[in-house]
Each structure stands twice: as structure tokens, then as C-alpha cells.
Amino acid sequence: MLYLLTAETLPVDQLLNTAMPKIVQQGRDIYQKGYAQVQHCEPTNAIISVEDLPGPPAQCTVRLAGNQVTVTCSCRYGYAWGLCQHRVAALFQLRDHLRLHPPSLWRAVLDQAIQPHPRRSAAVSSSGSALVFSLQKRGAIWSILAYTIAGKHLPIDHRGDPDTLAEAIESRTLHQHVKHLRSQVSPDVYPSMSMELLAAANTAISSG
């Protein structure tokens, strides 16, 4: 299963329970004054800069590993159990950022699930069809669904490269050519897809 940071999956309230009320209020004040800024945000990690006058800004890092979120801080209290005021402010600011800039599920899935297989790809002149995945919410559960895009719609030498596929899907408006897979896939049709990816697709198909 694919996990990524979203405004819904970031457990801000749960994490705030690890901090004293005074620290939470201090962090909220920092956030409300606009002293926290998201510097970098990826599907599973983010870096937030929080002003810490009169010293340099504190750097807070939020990481998602599986369904577990960890928050670290470069301040002198960063080693302590629970949250410091900078981490509180960082969480509030990151949640706002994710609400305004939700992650691209297509890009996140492509980046994490599709990996080229160099030894197989080097031997073929055409990269063939590609496997892609969609992260969809069913009730309270996120599920991965496997899809296919025929090779005729893709760059001939895409070789399963996630950046090439993501760009092709967006620039060529290929969403209409994406077909939901309902039967097991084989390496013959997907010469550029790794065996691990084929196995993941078949598992997703079997689980329905």
C-alpha cells in the first residue's frame, strides 16, 4: 500500500497530544504570526523553516514511513520527547500547505511504484505498454488500483521511467487511454516493467 502526506493523513491533533498545552499555544502563536514557512514538500517528507529569534530559524522535518509520522527539529530541544513549539508551528503550517497544494496521486504513485528494469529494457527497441497505479479512497481505506496504458500512446523509449511516464500522461492527456486492469499481466506485454511491479499489479488485481 502507498502512503503519502496529505492534509487528511497528517495526524496533527494526535501529535499535539504529546506536547504540553503551553507548548501547543506557543507553537500556535508562532504559526498564526506567519513565522513558519514550508521550504520543501514531497509525497513522504517535508521541511519547514520556523523563525526562532534572536537565533537562526529552526528547521523542522516531517517524515512519513508507512503510516507513521515523525517530526524532528534542529533546535536545542529537538532531542526531547514530545513536540517543541517549532514542531507545533510546523505541523499547523504543513497542514495548511497540503490543503492548498494536495499531492499529485498520479505522480506519487509513479515515483514510488514504477521502477525501470535496466537489464530487460536495454534489450528491447520498444518499451511497450506501461503499468500505472491509482490511489483511491474507499470509505476509510486507501486502495491501490492497477491500470495500463498501451505503448502506442507513450514515448517509444520510455523504459518505465517515472518522470517520462508522468510527463507523457500530463502533456498528452492520456487519462482517457488509461484502462483498468481486470486480468493478470505478463512480462511479454510489459517488457520495461520490473518483475516486482508486475507482481504488485497482479496482487492489486487479485485483491479487487
Residues 72, 130: one domain?
Answer: no
Residues 145, 167: one domain?
Answer: yes
Residues 95, 111: one domain?
Answer: no
For the ranges 35-44, 50-59, 66-75, 132-141, the lowest mean pLDDT is seen at 132-141
Q: Which of 87-91, 106-110, 129-133, 188-192: highest mean pLDDT?
A: 87-91
138 or 99: which leads in pLDDT: 99
pLDDT above 50: residue 163:
yes
How does residue 106 score in pLDDT terms, banded at 50, 70 and 90? low
Residues 16, 94: one domain?
Answer: yes
Residues 140, 115: one domain?
Answer: yes
* Residue 3 in domain: no
Residues 172, 130: one domain?
Answer: yes
Query: What CA–CA distances, in Å, run from 120 to 37, 164, 194?
Result: 44, 18, 8
Which domain-ending residue is among 99, 133, 148?
Answer: 99
Residues 191, 117: one domain?
Answer: yes
Residues 193, 140: one domain?
Answer: yes
Tell me what pLDDT residue 73 has. 93
Q: HSE of 56 in the Cβ direction (CA atoms, 13 Å)?
A: 6
Residues 154-174 have a mean pLDDT of: 79
Q: Which domain holds residue 139?
A: 105-207
Residues 80, 109: one domain?
Answer: no
List beta partners, residue 60. 48, 73
Q: How many domains does the chain have?
A: 2
Q: Which of 34, 31, 36, 35 is nearest to 47 (CA)?
A: 36
Q: Are 96 and 174 in contact (CB under 8 A)?
A: no
CA distance 92 to 111: 27
> Residue 188 burial (CB < 10 Å; 0-12/13-18/19+)?
exposed
68 or 66: which leads in pLDDT: 68
Residues 190, 127: one domain?
Answer: yes
* Residue 127 in domain: yes
* Residue 2 in domain: no
Tell me what pLDDT residue 110 has. 52
Which domain-ending residue is among 57, 77, 99?
Answer: 99
CA distance 139 to 137: 6
Residues 91, 174: one domain?
Answer: no
* Residue 4 in domain: no
Q: Are 20 and 34 in contact (CB under 8 A)?
A: no
pTM of the model: 0.54
Residues 84, 118: one domain?
Answer: no
Which domain-ending residue is among 99, 125, 147?
Answer: 99
How does residue 46 score in pLDDT terms, banded at 50, 70 and 90? very high
Q: Which of 67, 64, 83 is nearest to 18 (CA)?
A: 83
CA distance 39 to 46: 8
- Which strand (E) or helix (H) includes residue 207? helix 195-207
* Residue 24 in domain: yes
Q: Which of 106-110, 116-120, 136-140: highest mean pLDDT?
A: 136-140
CA distance 93 to 184: 43
Sheet holding 179-180, edge to edge: 130-138, 141-149, 179-180
CA distance 120 to 122: 6
How does residue 125 score in pLDDT terms, banded at 50, 70 and 90? very low
Average pLDDT, the chain: 80
* Residue 23 in domain: yes
* Residue 7 in domain: no
